Amino acid sequence: MGFIEKYHAAVQQNKSLVCVGLDTSPELIPQGMSVLDFNKAIIDATADLVCCYKPNMAFYEAQGQAGWETLLLTMHYVPKNIPVILDAKRADIGNTSEAYARAVFTQLKADAVTVSPYLGFDSVEPFFKNKDYFAFLLCRTSNKGAADFQSLPCEYEGKKRPLYEIVAEKAEKWNVNKNIGLVVGATYPEELRDIRQAHPDLTLLIPGVGAQGGDLKQAVHFGVNKNLSGIAINSSRQIIYASKGPDFAQAARKATLTLRDEINKHLGELKK
């Protein structure tokens, strides 16, 4: 199964729209424990409560060769029925992106990857031209500096529109294999609402809930599609560091369960 099939199956089985970010820093985990063992414990504690996992490559690249091995083993440890989004934010000129895509999908065997559309179509096409690949294009990211470029008005088809809207429209046009989604932060709820209304069928990866302060109710109400699905709400630090003690895995499970149930409560509000 590709990403979208795995995602829908996990949503149904686990009744969850939660994505757990495995952004693991060695200095923040129990002393004497390896990052791999920490990740395994988090996965064991939460696998029945999530729709996907999202390791961020930066935290593993920073650990050198050992980090690459940890990333590979972590991704392989995730149950086969749960999709893995590799948060890599890659993209470059065409032949370089071809190599990035091979690394992500062939070597690391990710189900999906985050990519930057700044260099244009030829830089991102390698991540979705194969129908078995899936790419989340950075559209309206959750960080404060997102407005520096993403909100800039640009001339497009005779109108001035913010750049993030053009990215979303390009993604829709390029989505011939139904394997492109968008990254849209919960910290910009109005933009999230507008993107969903304009692109009802695209899958949205929504960071920014939790440590970054995004409003969960708005993220759910504004983000879901007509089937009350089509989103993956990411939480990283709030879950994996829910406790710094030996009970970290149990605390992570409790935090994931709480987030899942809160999301489902807001879904229930939309059914009324």
What is the CATH T-level fold of the domain 3-271, as seen in this structure?
TIM Barrel (3.20.20)
Among 89, 129, 178, 217, the one annotated catalytic: 89
213: pLDDT confidence band, cut at 50, 70 and 90?
Answer: confident
CB 214 within 8 A of CB 222: no
Instruction: Indicate if 89 belongs to the active site.
Output: yes
Handedness of CA 89, 94, 99, 102 (dihedral sign): positive
Q: Which residue has the tokens 């993107």?
A: 195
Residue-level pLDDT at 271:
84
| Closest to 214 (Cα-Cα) out of 236, 194, 199, 229 | 236
In angstroms, what CA-CA distances link 145 with 149, 208, 243, 272?
A: 8, 13, 30, 37
144: pLDDT confidence band, cut at 50, 70 and 90?
Answer: confident
Q: Is the pLDDT score of 212 beyond 80?
A: no
Q: Show Cβ contacts of residue 239 under 8 Å, excluding neighbours closer than 6 positions.
A: 20, 21, 42, 46, 210, 252, 255, 256, 259
How confident is the prediction for the chain on average, in pLDDT? 95
Q: Is the pLDDT score of 16 beyond 90?
A: yes
Q: Is the pLDDT score of 157 beyond 90?
A: no
Residue-level pLDDT at 272:
72
158: pLDDT confidence band, cut at 50, 70 and 90?
Answer: confident
**Mean predicted confidence (pLDDT) in 196-212:** 92
187: pLDDT confidence band, cut at 50, 70 and 90?
Answer: very high
Q: Is the pLDDT score of 60 beyond 90?
A: yes
Residue-level pLDDT at 257:
98
Using H for helix, E for strand and C for coil, what is the string for the chain? CCHHHHHHHHHHHHCCCEEEEECCCHHHCCCCCCHHHHHHHHHHHHCCCCCEEEEEHHHHHCCHHHHHHHHHHHHHHCCCCCCEEEEEEECCCHHHHHHHHHHHHHHCCCCEEEECCCCCHHHHHHHCCCCCCCEEEEEECCCHHHHHHHCCEEEECCEEEEHHHHHHHHHHHHCCCCCEEEEECCCCHHHHHHHHHHCCCCEEEECCECCCCECHHHHHHHHCCCCCCCEEEEECHHHHCCCCCCCHHHHHHHHHHHHHHHHHHHHHHHHC
**Mean predicted confidence (pLDDT) in 84-106:** 96
